[in-house]
């Protein structure tokens, strides 16, 4: 096995770009699952929903899908608020979240999928953007804009979420919810409201990630299932509830995947990624940057 | 009822069902019933680890596939009789179950669930790249032309085997539940640390229940290649096995062996009926809505309802 | 417990009532099948269903078959093979259908085979790949034009075209998805490489849900192959084509076995990126002259497809789904009865005149002569659908009797 410099450099860049995308799809899970203990297995379904929203606006009005998704993210925020309200009333209030919540979100996953099938049909959908076919070349290294643009917006979004969580009152309240709900209550903050807003934030990120997804690859309603394993893997590998960890975990998985693909055989990429996850769980259960 | 009486009763009923079914002229009954029975085993087996012990296994499909692919392997290598293949698949899945049992040493709760999911992906990749059992291409497993016991078709044999295996799964689940093992597992579920301190051999019990649970799930998969005649990884590792084996006990109730049975019969039958009546995107919707409704309205499953109702009547 | 038993028996009773078949007097001619209406292959399944419904309407407008109206009885197999045995048993034992055809693709055809074989039914397959090689069932027929040896027939055109290049290519890279169709196509490509003496310098597969294909294409480029053969499904075809563009792939021929560019979705979305790619098609407007009457069907199909949200072109699968039904129709009319043995016999012996041309079946039920078109896309500008409906952008390279032009090689020169 040879490792020519150009291939190695390209593998690193491709891995980072891919990792940036993975971070975007997983950061929501990092909030809902990592911080709030809500096992939102339907998260990928909302990503697909985001893809279709971006698609339809792009199709009708020719606007850039990623810009659209950022502008429309408040819609997803509201959807998240509603969903959490139902979840809270039905499960958290009764104190029996985890497993039943899981089944609940499975149900939501199926319902979302069917809704998309009924509205949009089952065909693959894609979008065309101004940068879809542009590639920058820096010496031997390629920077395809189709991946660079989502990467940049994604990293901005993830860093933004992190700064928001550490530098605003509300954000710190979310972090506090993750640690000690009682203390928060004693300080006069309503943990349910904080959790609801945080969950809504996680769904808003899903909407934006959906736009990235459809810029990168064709989308059909059942595609979300493919991402269930990945989003949880990134979140757990990075460390529960750590946004930096999520970013790092996503980069690690992205680079692992691109190296396996380049040098060994793409077929083994999932085994390598999930093998890494298993090893992390077995030897450092708190993840790379876990609490 | 003692476990022995129960076992005797279960197997007698199973045999009676097998014999009585011979008079059903309709093959649809057999293939539909086969699917429902397969889900009863999966749900019952999942519940031994998930319901009794509190460890949520997300990788039911992996165990099912180990059972199925062990059959594919033996079919290609030695072509032994069906009972041997069933036994071998059960053992192989049991070994995997033991390995998963060791995972519980280091992780609990959702981490354990994610680990089983990861394990499932890793196994899937191995099967896809294992050419001997067909790899991504899939393998053809032909049903033998000759059917023993004077049965009309091979599906009748598969169905009969499934009925007996279902009885076995239920007997095992009930035996575990009513014995000291079941009480130990319940203690682990409620508070593992406290159980450990109270002298419950937690590790051994967890290993035991993970092994039995895995073995039974694998057993459900051993006849699958013959049922389909063609196995490929995405069919054997289908998400529906993981989802159903969690959803069914949840709908039925997870505290006793009756719950998964009721849940599987109910949800399995609904799926079969919906598939041939509505037959469009709406059928997935019905499963989804059913799932959401049940977990919101009947949080302890149907058995939870029944128990609450009984308690009220006693008062 | 007593109450439980009561409920249980009530349930059983309801079930048995549901299973009992109603009795009809003057019945329509029922044709049963499972079809993927949900799940990953639903796009193709729905398109095929529309074609078959159009066929049924056409036939009924002409008074049906043998004086009986035709009725299609179908269930959604959810693209999940494990639903297939119950569907076919229900069709046979409860719905009492007169004839069976298959759903779309190998995965759902194979599980139906043992059931069909037990009942000795004639069985038309819709795009199954070499299903009969293991079953050897003499009443199985298949409408996909891959020829008696599907793996070889599928790849023949690509390799014939390649070996006619001057100078002769020496090396080839093979890549495909980890799934049933790509695995078979790659198997065929390996055999072809051996036959033609090409050196295989790269031979790897990737998981179907791969997001970024550029690492794979860079690894391929590093081996500097003369030819790149790709066997992929729609999402990865799109990924491959885009990555080839981004990496700036340099090779003489690229493509071969990509599923996806046959459909409007990928044709319009990828647009100019498809220029230079050599791939297989089952129909092209450039050879419409060889498919008389097909335009009438396509006009009907295209109107409905837009409403149903499926492939608005309908070049790939729908004409063949329609032709499959035509084969049945012509056989029944000629035999004059629904005798399965005679039907199968007739289908083995005679040639059929269908919307997709003349069809004759080989001993194993495949087309006697392969008729996969090997084409090259060129001169595509922009992303509109109109240009694909007219001749001029899809050169047919093989088979010889359909050839409309010469290949433009190397691949990367088409990018300028």
Task: Reduce the secondary structure of B202-247 to three states and give it as a string.
Answer: HHHHHHHHHHHHHHHHHHHHHCHHHHHCEECHHHHCCHHHHHHHHH
Tokens (6 digits) for C324: 């499959």
Element (H, E) at A286: none
Rounded-to-integer distance, Cα C416 and Cα C414, Å: 6
CA distances from C381 to A124, C267, C409 (A): 21, 11, 19
Q: Round to whole Å and give the CA distance between C337 and C339.
A: 6
Pairing outcome for strands C99-104 and C29-35: parallel
Contact criterion met (CB below 8 Å) for B62 and B221: no
The answer to whether the CB of A19 falls within 8 A of the CB of A161 is: no
Contacts of A131 (CB under 8 A, 6+ apart): A145, A146, A148, A149
Domain residues for the domain of C204 are 150-286+371-415
Number of compact structural domains in chain C: 2
State the pLDDT at residue A74.
Answer: 93
Q: Are C115 and C88 in contact (CB under 8 A)?
A: yes
pLDDT digits (tens, 9 = 90+) for C278-309: 999 999 999 988 888 888 899 999 999 988 87
Beta bridge partners of C232: C258
Question: At C375, is the secondary structure helix, strand, or coil?
Answer: strand
Judge whether C306 lies within some domain: yes
Q: Does A64 touch chain B (CB under 8 A)?
A: no
Q: Is B136 on the interface with C (CB under 8 A)?
A: yes
For residues C249 and C396, membership in a common domain is answered with yes
Same domain, C378 and C343: no
pLDDT at C334 over 90: yes
User: Which residues does chain C have within 8 Å of residue A257's beta carbon, measured at their own beta carbons?
Assistant: 212, 215
Interface test with A, best of B56, B61, B121 (most A CBs within 10 A): B121
pLDDT in tens, A40-86: 889 999 999 999 999 999 988 888 999 999 999 999 999 999 999 98
- For residue A119, CA distances in Å to A163, C125, C381 come to 37, 30, 30
- Chain A contacts of C210, Cβ < 8 Å? 261, 266, 269
- Convert the pLDDT of each residue in A13-52 to its tens digit: 999 999 999 999 999 999 998 888 888 889 999 999 999 9
Tally of CB atoms within 10 A around C331:
22
Please, which pLDDT band fits residue A1 given cuts at 50, 70 and 90? Answer: low
Same domain, C277 and C172: yes
Q: Which residue, C71, C88, C84, C72, is CA-closest to C39?
A: C84
| Contact with chain C for residue A62, Cβ under 8 A | no
pLDDT (0 to 100) of residue C20: 47
Residue pair B30/B24 in contact by the 8 Å Cβ criterion = yes
Q: Does A17 touch chain C (CB under 8 A)?
A: yes
Burial class for C50, CB neighbours closer than 10 Å (0-12, 13-18, 19+) = buried
- Tokens 């308690």 -> residue: B311
A121 to C383: CB separation less than 8 angstroms, yes or no: no
Q: How confident is the model at residue C142 (pLDDT cuts 50, 70, 90)?
A: very high
The residues in C 291-320 lying below 8 A from A, measured between CB atoms, are 308-311
pLDDT at B113: 83
Q: Which residues make Cβ contacts (< 8 Å) with residue C74, sequence separation at least 6? A: B279, C32, C33, C34, C35, C49
- As a whole-number percent, the residues of chain C with pLDDT over 70 amount to 94
CB B124 within 8 A of CB B62: yes
Statement to judge: residues C55 and C124 lie in one domain: yes
Chains in contact with A, where contact requires at least 3 CB pairs less than 8 Å apart: B, C
The CATH number of whichever domain residue C224 belongs to comes to 3.40.50.2300
Residue C21 has pLDDT above 80, yes or no: no
CA–CA separation, C253 and C410 (whole Å) = 6
Asked if A164 contacts A157 with a C-beta cutoff of 8 angstroms, the reply is no
Q: What is the pLDDT along chain B (315 residues), one digit of tens a residue?
A: 788 899 999 999 999 998 888 888 888 999 999 999 999 999 999 999 988 988 888 889 999 999 999 999 999 998 899 999 999 999 999 999 999 888 877 777 778 888 888 888 889 999 998 989 988 888 888 888 788 887 888 899 999 999 999 999 999 999 999 999 888 898 888 888 888 888 888 899 999 999 999 999 999 999 999 999 889 898 899 888 888 898 889 888 888 899 999 999 998 998 888 888 776 667 677 778 888 888 778 777 888 888 888 888 876
Which has the higher per-residue pLDDT, B70 or C10?
B70
| Whether residue C166 is found in the same domain as residue C210 | yes
Give me Rg for the CA atoms of chain C. Answer: 23
Chain-centroid distance of CA B177 in Å reads 16
ipTM of the complex: 0.87
Q: At what angle do helices B82-103 and B109-128 cross, to 10 degrees?
A: 140
Task: Give C201: exposed, middle or buried? Use CB within 10 Å, 0-12, 13-18, 19+.
Answer: middle
Residue C3 has pLDDT above 60, yes or no: no
Identify the pLDDT of residue C106: 87
A-chain residue closest to C211, CA distance: A217
pTM for the model: 0.88
Confidence of residue C335 (pLDDT cuts 50, 70, 90): very high
Q: Is the pLDDT of residue A179 over 80?
A: no
Interface size B-C, in CB pairs within 8 Å, comes to: 126
> With bands split at pLDDT 50, 70 and 90, how would you rate the model's confidence at A2?
low
Q: Give the Cα separation of B94 and B218 in Å (integer).
A: 7
What pLDDT score was predicted for residue B191?
A: 85
Residues C264 and C382 in one domain: yes
* Same domain flag for C256 and C383: yes
CB B94 within 8 A of CB B220: no
pLDDT, greater one: C97 or A225: C97
Identify whether residues C344 and C386 lie together within a single domain.
no
B285 vs A100, A104, A110: nearest CB: A110
Q: Which of C38, C178, C214 sits opposite A117 (nearest CB)?
A: C38
Residue C4 included in any domain: no
Angle at C318 between CA C315 and CA C324, to 5 degrees: 125
Weakest-pLDDT range from A174-178, A210-214, B167-171, C390-394: A174-178
Are C93 and C184 found together in one domain? no
pLDDT at A36: 86
Please check whether residue C92 lies inside any domain of the structure: yes
Task: Say whether both C120 and C176 belong to one domain.
Answer: no
Beta strand residue intervals within A4-150, DSSP E: 135-138, 141-144
Peptide bond into C167 cis (omega under 30): yes
CB B247 within 8 Å of CB B290: no
Is C293 a domain residue? no
* Rounded mean pLDDT, C170-191: 92
Mean pLDDT (chain C) is 88
- Give the distance from residue A90's alpha carbon to the nearest chain B alpha carbon, in angstroms: 5
Pair (C231, C328) in one structural domain: no
CATH architecture of A5-283: Orthogonal Bundle (1.10)
Is-cis flag, bond preceding B170, omega within 30? Answer: no
């Amino acid at each position: 096995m040879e490792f020519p410099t150009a291939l190695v450099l390209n593998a690193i860049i491709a891995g980072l770009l891919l990792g940036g995308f993975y971070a975007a799809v997983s950061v929501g899970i990092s909030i809902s699952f990592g911080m709030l203990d809500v096992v939102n297995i339907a998260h990928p379904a909302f990503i697909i929903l985001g893809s279709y929203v971006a698609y339809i606006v792009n199709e009708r009005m020719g606007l850039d899908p990623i810009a659209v998704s950022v502008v429309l993210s408040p819609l997803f925020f509201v959807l998240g608020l509603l969903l959490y309200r139902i979840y809270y009333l039905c499960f958290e209030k009764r104190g029996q979240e985890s497993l039943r919540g899981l089944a609940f979100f499975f149900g939501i996953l199926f319902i979302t999928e069917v809704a998309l099938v009924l509205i949009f049909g089952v065909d693959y959908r894609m979008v065309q953007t101004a940068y879809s076919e542009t590639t920058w070349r820096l010496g031997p290294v390629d920077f395809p804009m189709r991946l660079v643009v989502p990467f940049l917006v994604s990293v901005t979004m993830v860093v933004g979420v992190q700064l928001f969580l550490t530098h605003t009152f509300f954000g710190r309240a979310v972090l506090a919810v993750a640690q000690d709900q009682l203390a928060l209550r004693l300080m006069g903050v309503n943990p349910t409201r904080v959790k609801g807003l945080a969950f809504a934030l996680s769904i808003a990120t899903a909407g934006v990630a959906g736009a990235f997804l459809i810029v990168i690859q064709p989308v059909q309603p059942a595609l979300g299932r493919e991402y269930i394993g990945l989003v949880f893997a990134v979140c757990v590998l990075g460390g529960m509830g750590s946004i930096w960890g999520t970013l790092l975990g996503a980069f690690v998985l992205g680079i692992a995947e691109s190296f396996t693909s380049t040098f060994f055989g793409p077929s083994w990429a999932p085994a390598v990624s999930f093998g890494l996850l298993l090893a992390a769980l077995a030897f450092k259960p708190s993840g790379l940057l876990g609490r | 009822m003692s476990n022995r009486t129960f076992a005797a009763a279960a197997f007698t009923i199973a045999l009676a069902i097998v014999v009585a079914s011979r008079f059903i002229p309709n093959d649809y009954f057999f293939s539909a019933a086969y699917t429902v029975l397969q889900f009863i085993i999966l749900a019952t087996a999942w519940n031994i680890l998930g319901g009794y012990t509190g460890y949520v296994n997300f990788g039911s499909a992996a165990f099912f596939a180990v059972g199925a692919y062990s059959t594919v392997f033996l079919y290609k290598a030695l072509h032994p009789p069906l009972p041997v293949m069933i036994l071998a698949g059960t053992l192989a899945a049991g070994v995997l179950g033991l390995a998963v049992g060791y995972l519980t040493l280091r992780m609990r709760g959702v981490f354990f669930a994610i680990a089983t999911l990861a394990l499932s992906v890793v196994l899937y990749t191995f099967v896809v790249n294992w050419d001997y059992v067909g790899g991504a291409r899939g393998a053809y497993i032909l049903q033998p032309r000759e059917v023993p016991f004077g049965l009309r078709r091979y599906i009748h044999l598969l169905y009969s085997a499934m009925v007996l295996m279902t009885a076995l799964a239920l007997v095992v689940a009930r035996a575990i539940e009513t014995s000291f093992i079941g009480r130990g597992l319940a203690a682990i579920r409620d508070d593992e640390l406290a159980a450990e301190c109270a002298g419950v051999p937690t590790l051994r019990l967890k290993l035991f229940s993970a092994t039995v649970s895995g073995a039974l799930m694998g057993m459900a998969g051993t006849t699958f290649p013959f049922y389909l005649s063609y196995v490929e990884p995405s069919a054997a590792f289908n998400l529906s096995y993981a989802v159903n084996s969690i959803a069914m006990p949840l709908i039925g109730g997870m505290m006793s062996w009756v719950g998964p049975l009721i849940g599987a019969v109910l949800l399995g039958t609904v799926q079969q009926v919906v598939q041939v009546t509505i037959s469009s995107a709406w059928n997935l919707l019905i499963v989804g809505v059913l799932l959401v409704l049940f977990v919101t309205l009947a949080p302890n499953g149907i058995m939870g309802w029944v128990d609450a109702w009984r308690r009220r009547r006693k008062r | 417990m007593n109450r439980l038993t009561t409920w249980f028996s009530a349930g059983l009773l309801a079930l048995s009532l549901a299973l009992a078949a109603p009795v009809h007097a003057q019945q329509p001619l029922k044709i049963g099948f499972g079809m993927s209406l949900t799940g990953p292959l639903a796009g193709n399944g729905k398109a095929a269903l529309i074609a078959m419904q159009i066929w049924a309407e056409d036939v009924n407008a002409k008074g049906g078959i043998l004086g009986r109206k035709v009725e299609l009885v179908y269930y959604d197999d959810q693209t999940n093979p494990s639903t297939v045995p119950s569907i076919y048993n229900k069709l046979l034992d409860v719905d009492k259908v007169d004839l069976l055809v298959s759903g779309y693709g190998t995965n759902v055809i194979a599980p139906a085979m043992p059931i069909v074989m037990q009942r000795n039914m004639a069985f038309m397959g819709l795009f199954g790949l070499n299903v009969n090689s293991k079953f050897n069932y003499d009443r199985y027929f298949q409408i996909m034009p891959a020829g008696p040896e599907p793996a070889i027939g599928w790849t023949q055109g690509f390799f014939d075209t390649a070996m006619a290049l001057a100078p002769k290519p020496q090396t080839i890279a093979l890549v495909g998805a980890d799934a049933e169709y790509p695995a078979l196509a790659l198997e065929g490509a390996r055999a072809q490489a051996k036959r033609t003496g090409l050196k295989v310098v790269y031979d790897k597969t990737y998981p179907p849900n791969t997001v970024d294909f550029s690492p794979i294409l860079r690894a391929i480029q590093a081996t500097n192959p003369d030819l790149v053969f790709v066997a992929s499904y729609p999402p990865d075809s799109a990924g491959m084509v885009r990555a080839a563009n981004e990496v700036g792939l340099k090779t003489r021929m690229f493509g071969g076995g990509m599923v996806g560019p046959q459909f409007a979705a990928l044709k319009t979305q990828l647009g100019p990126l498809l220029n230079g790619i050599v791939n297989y098609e089952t129909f092209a407007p450039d050879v419409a002259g060889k498919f008389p009457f097909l335009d009438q069907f396509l006009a009907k199909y295209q109107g409905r497809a837009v409403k149903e949200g499926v492939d608005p072109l309908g070049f790939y699968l729908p004409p063949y789904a329609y032709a499959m039904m035509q084969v049945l129709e012509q056989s029944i009319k000629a035999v004059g009865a629904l005798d399965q043995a005679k039907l199968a016999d007739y289908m083995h012996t005679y040639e059929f005149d269908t919307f997709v041309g003349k069809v004759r079946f080989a001993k194993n039920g495949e087309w006697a002569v392969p008729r996969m078109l090997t084409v090259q896309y060129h001169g595509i500008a922009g992303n509109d659908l109109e240009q694909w409906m007219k001749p001029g952008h899809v050169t047919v390279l093989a088979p010889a009797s359909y050839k409309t032009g010469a290949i433009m090689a190397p691949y990367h020169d088409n990018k300028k």
